[in-house]
Chains A and B, each alone.
Chain A
Amino acid sequence: MLFLQQLINGLTSGSLYALIAVGYTVVYGIVQLINFAHGEVFMIGAFGSLAVWTIFFQGQTSILILIPMLLGAVAASVGVAVLMERFAYRPLRHAPRLAPLITAIGVSVSLQEIVRLFYPGAKSPLPYPQIDYVSGTALQLGDITLRRSAIFTVGALVVSAVFLWWFINRTKLGRGMQAVSQDPDTARLMGINVDRVIVVAFALGALLAGIAGVAQGLQTNSISQIMGFTAGLKAFTAAVLGGIGNVAGAVVGGLVLGVAESLATQFIPGAFGGTPWKDVWAFVLLIVVLVFRPQGLLGARVVDRA
């Protein structure tokens, strides 16, 4: 029973990691850049959805509001991601690799501070609204609780994964993305505008991160400007675990990480068990995988079919 509960918890947090991890992996697959500000893209998504609720639907709980909230989240995330690509990373496209990495950290800190200083009330964590059908408990069977936000999160991952698969493998632009990740110069010879493909990669990752922002709000009922830090770090770990650059790997890596840390918390006895050790076990898993399978679980690759 306990095992089942931890499995549910693990899949829930794992789905959240996976939704964010896709953003690291897609961007890496196209430009070999680790966008360490991607956690903030997720955070901005949560605030975008909260802003829509606060401005237009304050006090309401109808499930229909979820749609404009998701749109607000995605608009905020995609907007910020596209702007950071254009103004922070693109000028550094041909700079040494350390430059965009340091820039990413700068962007990350700036976004946190901008939200803290300018989002009304964000100096302390803000309550996230309860929405019908996606907040609260869905099912209670003895000791086992299945929360509606968990179903929402896993469902969001499933829908996103199907969408991504379709986009990458079945659309012209998706095929163009695969071409750029395999051989950018030759992709240009095909008439592919590499700059545009890079923007699309950032936008695609931000789309999923925005949805994840809503999922996180529903799960924890509160959001803050620092929420992107741990989630981003975990999602990055998941992306590396699954094989950086590999989209299917990011999904698998997220789920494996979520389940592993949740089971470790419950079943590792004594001083090394329990919640305080959760993050430790997550990174131990990463180290073990990198030692024995440096390319990650599904193999480091570019944006590609599984």
Chain B
Amino acid sequence: MTAMLEVTDLQVAYGKIEAVKKITFSVDEGQVVTLIGTNGAGKTTTLRTISGLLRPTGGSIRFQGKPIQTTPAHEIVSLGIAHSPEGRRIFPRLTVEENLLLGSFSRKDTANIKGDLQAAYDLFPILRERAKQPAGTFSGGEQQMLAMGRAMMCRPKLLMLDEPSMGLSPLMMKRIMSTVRTLREQGTTILLVEQNAQAALRLADKGYVLEVGSIVLQGTGQELLASDDVRKAYLGED
């Protein structure tokens, strides 16, 4: 079986700065795969390149066997890749419902959208209560739920989440992580970027550790959790 997402020797640069240096990794269907690493490691850059916001300077990205490294961002969404970006990036002056509906912008099967809106509300009931409220008035945790709900509105085959737990209370973080688990159980393949390595590795099938643009370590979630290097560098233990 070929992987759902195959990233091979991917290179991305901002001008002369090489942010991602020949990384190779893959995500199989039904898996949760996590990319962890410290600030500036290149995690966000990697996701933005997969979703077409950035163009690689080398290497390839294949989704379900097809190369997508030159496909425009708005077409990548219709292939089934949703990206919930770092910092949530909800549309502040649109209502919660309008934000969610934008998530379904690329879909042709308009008849099913209403039902998926209800599914998003069932996933995060607070969104239903505040459906008509401008999203900019939401708290960080609520915005994160909205961003995830919005990403789910395109019925993604692959859901990419960039630091969904950033800046959230421990309680809210648990809530988000358990939603990631729920989504996986519902059959969504997930590529999860996290600084909170512990939480991410606990639910990941596979993990990659990124350091200044290169993958330095990889393994199953359990292996990485047990690895001394990871424990020292990312779990704050010595």
- In the complex, the answer to whether A188 meets B53 with C-beta atoms within 8 Å is yes
A182/B105 contact (C-beta < 8 A), A189-B73, A191-B154 known: no
- In the complex, the answer to whether A186 meets B85 with C-beta atoms within 8 Å is yes
Contacting A at CB under 8 A, from B47-86, are 51-53, 72-75, 77-78, 82-83, 85
Closest partner residue, chain A, to B102 (CB atom): A190
- In the complex, the answer to whether A194 meets B74 with C-beta atoms within 8 Å is yes
Contacting B at CB under 8 A, from A176-197, are 176, 178-179, 182-183, 185-194
- In the complex, the answer to whether A191 meets B74 with C-beta atoms within 8 Å is yes
Contacting B at CB under 8 A, from A160-205, are 172, 175-176, 178-179, 182-183, 185-194
Report if B103 contacts A (CB, 8 A).
yes
- In the complex, the answer to whether A304 meets B93 with C-beta atoms within 8 Å is yes
- Residues of A in contact (CB 8 Å), total 20
- In the complex, the answer to whether A193 meets B74 with C-beta atoms within 8 Å is yes
Contacting residue for A190 out of B53, B75, B93, B103, CB 8 A:
B103
Report if B92 contacts A (CB, 8 A).
yes
Report if B23 contacts A (CB, 8 A).
no
- In the complex, the answer to whether B91 meets A189 with C-beta atoms within 8 Å is no
A191/B89 contact (C-beta < 8 A), A175-B102, A182-B94 known: no
Q: How large is the interface on B (under 10, 10 to 19, 20 to 34, 35 or more residues)?
A: 20 to 34
Report A-chain residues with C-beta under 8 Å of the C-beta of B82: 189
Report B-chain residues with C-beta under 8 Å of the C-beta of A304: 93
- In the complex, the answer to whether B105 meets A178 with C-beta atoms within 8 Å is no
Report B-chain residues with C-beta under 8 Å of the C-beta of A188: 52-53, 72-74
Inter-chain CA distance A192–B94, complex, in Å, is 16
Report if B177 contacts A (CB, 8 A).
no
A190/B94 contact (C-beta < 8 A), A175-B101, A175-B102, A185-B53 known: no
Inter-chain CA distance A175–B113, complex, in Å, is 16
- In the complex, the answer to whether A183 meets B89 with C-beta atoms within 8 Å is yes
Report B-chain residues with C-beta under 8 Å of the C-beta of A172: 101, 105
Report if B116 contacts A (CB, 8 A).
no
A190/B106 contact (C-beta < 8 A), A175-B101, A178-B94, A182-B91 known: yes
Report B-chain residues with C-beta under 8 Å of the C-beta of A185: 53, 85, 89
Contacting residue for B102 out of A176, A194, A301, CB 8 A:
A176
Report B-chain residues with C-beta under 8 Å of the C-beta of A189: 51, 53, 73, 77, 82-83, 85
A178/B91 contact (C-beta < 8 A), A188-B73, A190-B77 known: yes
- In the complex, the answer to whether A186 meets B89 with C-beta atoms within 8 Å is yes
Report A-chain residues with C-beta under 8 Å of the C-beta of B93: 178, 182, 301, 304-305
- In the complex, the answer to whether A175 meets B94 with C-beta atoms within 8 Å is yes
Residue-wise interface mask of A (36-70) relative to B, using a CB-CB cutoff of 8 A (1 in contact, 0 not): 00000000000000000000000000000000000
Report if B98 contacts A (CB, 8 A).
yes
- In the complex, the answer to whether A179 meets B102 with C-beta atoms within 8 Å is yes
Report B-chain residues with C-beta under 8 Å of the C-beta of A179: 91, 94, 102
- A-B pairs, 5 with minimum CB distance: A191-B106, A191-B77, A188-B73, A186-B89, A193-B74
Q: A188-B53, A305-B93 are in contact. List 9 more A-B contacts (CB 8 A).
A: A176-B102, A179-B91, A183-B89, A190-B103, A190-B105, A191-B75, A191-B107, A191-B154, A192-B102
A-B contact pairs, 10 of them (CB 8 A): A175-B94, A175-B98, A188-B53, A189-B53, A190-B74, A190-B105, A191-B154, A192-B105, A192-B106, A193-B72
